[in-house]
Structure 1
Amino acid sequence: MKCLDTFLLIVTLAIGATAEASVRTCEPIKVAMCKNIGYNQTGMPNLARHTLQVEADVTLQTYSPLVQYGCSSQLHLFLCSVYVPMCTDKVALPIGPCRGLCESVYERCYPVLRGFGFPWPSELDCSLFPAENNHEHMCMEGPGERVPPIGTIPLDTATTNGRGACRRLVKPNSWVWVRGSGRCAQFCDAEVLWEAGERKAAEVWLATWAALSFACTLAAVGAQLACGDRGGAGERALVLVALCRCAAAAGWGVRAAAGRSAAGCAKDSMSPTRMLLAHDGLANPNCAVVFLLLYYFGLAASVWWVVAAGAWRASVLRPPASPVSARNDRHSSLLQLAAWGVPAALAAAVLVTRDVDADELTGTCFVGNQSSKSLLALVIIPEAICLLLGSVFLASGLRAILQRSPPVPAPAALLNAPPQPHTDQSLLRLGTFAALYAVPSTCILITWIYEYTWRDDWLAAPVPSTEPSTQPRPAFWVFLFRIFATQILGVMVAVWIATPRLKAFWKRISGPRKPTLAKCPTGPAPAPLTLQCYAAHSHSLPRHPHKYSTYRPPQHQSYRKPRHYHYSAGETIL
């Protein structure tokens, strides 16, 4: 009897093994979503108890929006390993995902499903899968999460999984994928890099310095117009620098008057009730006006500073006998075209490419606030070129001054000529100011390079790890210093222009100054001396023509009584 039972058990196990082998027959993958996944053979039933690939294909189609969203770079492999598992003739059971792969996908994609109101599917429960891949339980561990740097997949570049780019950013719930522009846009009130207190402090700081710069530059330009003194080419260029800085300060004023939301935010085209930080300058007129005033006139001021440095160099290298402004006036048309045309061309290019965007800290529209490529190409490179050209002009002029031979003594005929120190003093003032102007400009350029270098690290989402890590944040004082340096340029040029002209204007309206009386010596005042001449007395003899002749013989020489001069002090002096 026992032998019969043993025989029946062996037959039953053999039949079961044969049935299992027949069920697990490997077949080519027919599901389009899982082709070219890394393996090409599968077997049914799968881990979700589907017996046909058609059933698995229908279920996988329901996950297509989640795959396109890009919450996890391993989601595609995970789903295929569950619904279309790998099959090989050497292993009887299907090879599905490991528990680590499931947990990695769950950590990144479950918040997305929960946000849309969907639960995590029961057949994807991570406890159902092997803990590790070994000889007892084979499974697929996956290549790991691939989080490419922000510079590799730009925010403003549309990709097949564009929404996934937003999930790779810090605080992903503060971003939304804008299909029309093909980029991730930040919510207007979201605090991603800056807190509310920092925004408020930056806005007060900006308004204060912008008002001071606008008032100073406006006063300087008004003093120049009142005096009516054009000066040389360098001085005229600096007046235009002041005018450009005044217009740029007016741009900050427009931003302060309109407010953060009206000037730096725009409505989402997909949801009109949702406000996003401006990423398209043409969508908000206030944003476009602020950008034009800041970018165009700011870059024009840099170009005019280069013109002023070049004019100073030409004045230093020019022989004394040549006209002061002949060469500059000859090329004035080209200088005007370069100073106004180049910034206009760059501003037009920014508007055409729709690269105008607002920054989170102040809500001010500029270029490159959200795009690193635009920051490099349209801000850093033009400013660096202007700074380099101006520095070359200044260095060349300074070298010519240091190598200049001492002046030859003037001949005696020119010693009585009036001195002319005005030209040398003007050149000295112009060169000194052009050199001082380069210092804040260099600092501003360094802050732009700092932002361009570290922005990707600030915005990249932290990689999940067992060890706690600190998310890098931008230095608040660097951005405050940029605001200060930008506005102090206008104050500097205003002080340089207004100081001598206001002094001359004050002399003109106050009239000639009265002569200063000499101070009397201390002590008792002496009695005034009154000179009295008694040249004509009533007893004087009449003049005779022969009596006062030039030559007289000694015996006929007569003696004439000298005249007496009496002073009121009682003394008589002969």
Structure 2
Amino acid sequence: MKCLISLFLSIALVFETAAEASVRTCEPIKVAMCKNIGYNQTGMPNLARHTLQADADVTLQTFSPLVQYGCSSQLHLFLCAVYVPMCTDKVALPIGPCRGLCESVYARCYPVLRGFGFPWPAELDCSLFPAENNHEHMCMEGEGERAPPLGTIPLDATNAVGRGGCRRLVKPNSWVWVRGSGRCAQFCDAEVLWETGERKAAEVWLATWAALSFACTLAAIGAQLACGDRGGAGERALVLVALCRCAAAAGWGVRAAAGRTAAGCAKDSTSPTRMLLAHDGLANPNCAVVFLLLYYFGLAASVWWVVVTGAWRASVLRPPSTPGARNDRHSSLLQLAAWGVPAALAAAVLVTRDVDADELTGTCFVGNQSSKSLLALVIVPEAICLLLGTVFLASGLRAVLRRPVPLPAPATLLNAPPQPHPDQSLLRLGAFAALYAVPSACILATWVYEYILREDWLAAPVPSTEPSTQPQPAFWVFLFRIFATQILGVMVAVWIATPRLKALWRRMTGPRKPVLAKCPSGPPPTPLTLHCYATHPHTLTRHPQKYATYRPPQQQSYRKPRHYHYSAGETIL
């Protein structure tokens, strides 16, 4: 049965081939792209089932950008062999490309098509063409170009896109196309936007401020634990802000300890000896750890600052009769939001594999090489936190300005020390929350600056007759971002540690209890006896008249002083 089916199929194929051979006639090539290609006769229908050369010409025009990129030297011949095949009277079937020629062109040009979002056409499937040129199946092999062996691909995704898609970037020799991420990656040691001196200066600047922030926040947390004073909801949230800033500073420390290459670079999959700037942080454990510490705890610190501003506003608007009943009502929800939202965003980054390193410091974060990730995962969350905190601060400040000044209560004791105003701590907390917002706004401004101008920095200069300057990023902006990021930790540490260190110092150096004197040895001393004598009665003569008259001094009565005699013979008046 199977033999009969095969026989019928063979007979049908022979009749179809004969029909096509009877219909197809050789004619001169009219397509402009395929003239002077090496042969001048073609026949329709072609290998893509086009019956007219005009239809083939329209299809070939869609490949003009790919031909201009020059991803393969054999692309021109391959396309013409498919859409305008060679025709001769000696061979009934059209002579198209061989499979080796197709595979060579596919290996070099398919990454370019995929990079721009185009699939490989179905009529160009390499399995449709003969494996080799022989007397049974004639085909064109080209000029000897073959598919590169595995492991020696600088021509597959690297050179094809390096000469094509990555050519639109500044210094195209410093980039390589990566199939996994679908974008151009920078070599680890390439100097595209920053020079070696600027990198070293930024690394020293970062290490200095990160060490200062880590030491200050750690000391503040230690002072808080030593004093044991929990304070209000706002103060407790500030302690958590300090904890998050301490963990973020530890992330910078991991980056400094591991080094630029170990923390910010990864091996190229096509060439293990070549290092690329990390574009997929999960491939490098050091890069993943630095990202988690910086992104998660940095965003958590921003959310906890919003909690601080909200607690301050609630304390300002709360009546004095309810001192702390509402502080802990929603503490569980606040904990869930402050720790859960950053965790969800960090998980989204890990799933999409958007962890990448920046060229200046080699630190892994989000959006260092992708503008979309920078906008969606960094700028938008930080802008929302800053907006909410500013709204809470403005609302609380309005309530403070409208509050009447309370009259001082009368002191119950004459020598009682003056009591501090009950709103001083609240005003101090609000002032700190407002000061904290200033560096946060500056950091957000630097991210917006990078997002807007990054494409101009990385775009290759357009060739023109007039000399033009390539836009460069401002070095001081990125140094200021590092400073502002670390000064947030120093600020919150100083605010927390100052009153608590004072209280701890007073506790350590405060007045001690007086030491009781020892009793002297020997017999006890003779007790003192007191003798009182009253020799004159306390009487005054009253004048019978209503008003007393003047008397001479010698006639005035006076009290006779009493004499107190001690047993030692001493008389005291």
TM (norm. structure 1) is 0.67
Contact preservation (8 Å) 1:306, 1:390: yes
The corresponding residue for 1:180 is 180
The corresponding residue for 2:314 is 314
Contact preservation (8 Å) 1:68, 1:161: no
Matched, 1:484 2:483: yes
Structure 2 CA distance for aligned equivalents of residues 408 and 561 of structure 1: 54
- Give me the identity figure in percent: 79
The corresponding residue for 1:199 is 199
Structure 2 CA distance for aligned equivalents of residues 116 and 403 of structure 1: 71
**Residues 241-287 of structure 1 deviation map (CA, whole Å, 9 limit, x = unaligned):** 01100000000000000000100011112221111111112101100
Gaps of 5+ in 2: 1-26, 32-41, 49-55, 64-75, 88-94, 116-152, 515-529, 544-556, 566-570
- In 2 relative to 1, CA 358–404 (structure 1 residues): closer, same or farther, beyond 3 Å? same
Matched, 1:436 2:468: no
Matched, 1:475 2:474: yes
Matched, 1:406 2:405: yes
- In 2 relative to 1, CA 174–410 (structure 1 residues): closer, same or farther, beyond 3 Å? same
User: How far 1:408 moved relative to its partner?
Assistant: 5.0
**Residues 385-411 of structure 1 deviation map (CA, whole Å, 9 limit, x = unaligned):** 000000000000000111123325657
SS in 1 for 2:319: coil
Matched, 1:355 2:354: yes
Q: In the alignment, residue 294 of structure 1 is paired with which amino acid?
A: L
User: How far 1:501 moved relative to its partner?
Assistant: 0.7
Structure 1 CA distance for aligned equivalents of residues 154 and 274 of structure 2: 18
SS in 2 for 1:338: helix
Instruction: Report which stretch shifted further, 458-467 or 331-340.
Output: 458-467
- In 2 relative to 1, CA 496–28 (structure 1 residues): closer, same or farther, beyond 3 Å? farther
Aligned counterparts, 1:373-392, within 5 A? 373-392=372-391
User: How far 1:64 moved relative to its partner?
Assistant: 5.9
Structure 2 CA distance for aligned equivalents of residues 219 and 226 of structure 1: 10
The corresponding residue for 2:267 is 267
Contact preservation (8 Å) 1:288, 1:365: yes
The corresponding residue for 2:52 is none
Aligned counterparts, 1:451-462, within 5 A? 451-462=450-461
Contact preservation (8 Å) 2:161, 2:177: no
SS in 2 for 1:37: helix
Q: In the alignment, residue 249 of structure 1 is paired with which amino acid?
A: A
SS in 2 for 1:330: coil
- In 2 relative to 1, CA 503–69 (structure 1 residues): closer, same or farther, beyond 3 Å? same
Contact preservation (8 Å) 1:69, 1:162: no
- In 2 relative to 1, CA 450–563 (structure 1 residues): closer, same or farther, beyond 3 Å? same
Q: In the alignment, residue 210 of structure 2 is paired with which amino acid?
A: A
Contact preservation (8 Å) 1:69, 1:164: no
Q: In the alignment, residue 280 of structure 1 is paired with which amino acid?
A: D
SS in 1 for 2:164: helix
User: How far 1:425 moved relative to its partner?
Assistant: 1.6
Matched, 1:36 2:59: yes
Matched, 1:54 2:86: yes
Structure 2 CA distance for aligned equivalents of residues 277 and 345 of structure 1: 26
Structure 2 CA distance for aligned equivalents of residues 361 and 39 of structure 1: 40
**Residues 149-172 of structure 1 deviation map (CA, whole Å, 9 limit, x = unaligned):** xxxxxxxxxxx9797322211111
**Residues 84-124 of structure 1 deviation map (CA, whole Å, 9 limit, x = unaligned):** xxxxxxxxxxxxxxxxxxxxxxxxxxxxxxx989xxxxxxx
The corresponding residue for 2:224 is 224
The corresponding residue for 1:529 is none
Aligned counterparts, 1:365-380, within 5 A? 365-380=364-379
User: How far 1:311 moved relative to its partner?
Assistant: 0.5
The corresponding residue for 2:208 is 208
The corresponding residue for 2:394 is 395
SS in 2 for 1:481: helix
User: How far 1:328 moved relative to its partner?
Assistant: 1.7
- In 2 relative to 1, CA 252–550 (structure 1 residues): closer, same or farther, beyond 3 Å? same
SS in 2 for 1:176: strand
Contact preservation (8 Å) 2:210, 2:253: yes
Contact preservation (8 Å) 1:68, 1:163: no
Q: In the alignment, residue 236 of structure 1 is paired with which amino acid?
A: R
- In 2 relative to 1, CA 412–427 (structure 1 residues): closer, same or farther, beyond 3 Å? closer
The corresponding residue for 1:171 is 171
User: How far 1:327 moved relative to its partner?
Assistant: 0.9
Q: In the alignment, residue 343 of structure 1 is paired with which amino acid?
A: P
The corresponding residue for 1:244 is 244
**Residues 495-526 of structure 1 deviation map (CA, whole Å, 9 limit, x = unaligned):** 111111101100000122899xxxxxxxxxxx
Structure 1 CA distance for aligned equivalents of residues 210 and 349 of structure 2: 24
Q: In the alignment, residue 474 of structure 1 is paired with which amino acid?
A: P
**Residues 56-105 of structure 1 deviation map (CA, whole Å, 9 limit, x = unaligned):** 9649967666655659x9xxxxxxxxxxxxxxxxxxxxxxxxxxxxxxxx
Q: In the alignment, residue 476 of structure 1 is paired with which amino acid?
A: F
- In 2 relative to 1, CA 162–347 (structure 1 residues): closer, same or farther, beyond 3 Å? farther
Q: In the alignment, residue 329 of structure 2 is paired with which amino acid?
A: R
User: How far 1:429 moved relative to its partner?
Assistant: 0.9
Contact preservation (8 Å) 2:162, 2:176: no
Q: In the alignment, residue 339 of structure 1 is paired with which amino acid?
A: A
User: How far 1:559 moved relative to its partner?
Assistant: 9.6
Instruction: Report which stretch shifted further, 161-170 or 183-192.
Output: 161-170
Structure 1 CA distance for aligned equivalents of residues 473 and 562 of structure 2: 100
The corresponding residue for 2:302 is 302
Structure 2 CA distance for aligned equivalents of residues 272 and 265 of structure 1: 12
SS in 2 for 1:271: coil
- In 2 relative to 1, CA 467–562 (structure 1 residues): closer, same or farther, beyond 3 Å? closer
**Residues 130-149 of structure 1 deviation map (CA, whole Å, 9 limit, x = unaligned):** xxxxxxxxxxxxxxxxxxxx
- In 2 relative to 1, CA 268–563 (structure 1 residues): closer, same or farther, beyond 3 Å? same
- In 2 relative to 1, CA 39–339 (structure 1 residues): closer, same or farther, beyond 3 Å? closer
Structure 2 CA distance for aligned equivalents of residues 36 and 24 of structure 1: 15
- In 2 relative to 1, CA 274–422 (structure 1 residues): closer, same or farther, beyond 3 Å? farther
User: How far 1:470 moved relative to its partner?
Assistant: 1.2
User: How far 1:423 moved relative to its partner?
Assistant: 3.4
Matched, 1:448 2:450: no
The corresponding residue for 2:420 is 421
Q: In the alignment, residue 286 of structure 2 is paired with which amino acid?
A: N
Instruction: Report which stretch shifted further, 166-175 or 244-253.
Output: 166-175
SS in 2 for 1:329: coil
User: How far 1:333 moved relative to its partner?
Assistant: 0.6
User: How far 1:422 moved relative to its partner?
Assistant: 5.7
User: How far 1:183 moved relative to its partner?
Assistant: 1.8
Q: In the alignment, residue 241 of structure 1 is paired with which amino acid?
A: V
Gaps of 5+ in 1: 1-21, 41-46, 74-114, 118-159, 516-534, 567-571
Q: In the alignment, residue 86 of structure 2 is paired with which amino acid?
A: V
Structure 1 CA distance for aligned equivalents of residues 405 and 30 of structure 2: 101
Structure 1 CA distance for aligned equivalents of residues 390 and 335 of structure 2: 20
Structure 2 CA distance for aligned equivalents of residues 174 and 396 of structure 1: 52
Aligned counterparts, 1:23-102, within 5 A? 30=46, 35-38=58-61, 53-54=85-86, 58=97, 67-68=109-110
SS in 1 for 2:266: strand
- In 2 relative to 1, CA 463–417 (structure 1 residues): closer, same or farther, beyond 3 Å? same
User: How far 1:181 moved relative to its partner?
Assistant: 2.2
- In 2 relative to 1, CA 508–167 (structure 1 residues): closer, same or farther, beyond 3 Å? same
**Residues 168-194 of structure 1 deviation map (CA, whole Å, 9 limit, x = unaligned):** 111111111111222211111111111
Q: In the alignment, residue 371 of structure 2 is paired with which amino acid?
A: S
- In 2 relative to 1, CA 503–422 (structure 1 residues): closer, same or farther, beyond 3 Å? farther
- In 2 relative to 1, CA 66–562 (structure 1 residues): closer, same or farther, beyond 3 Å? closer
CA-based RMSD: 4.1
Residue-pair matches, total:
431
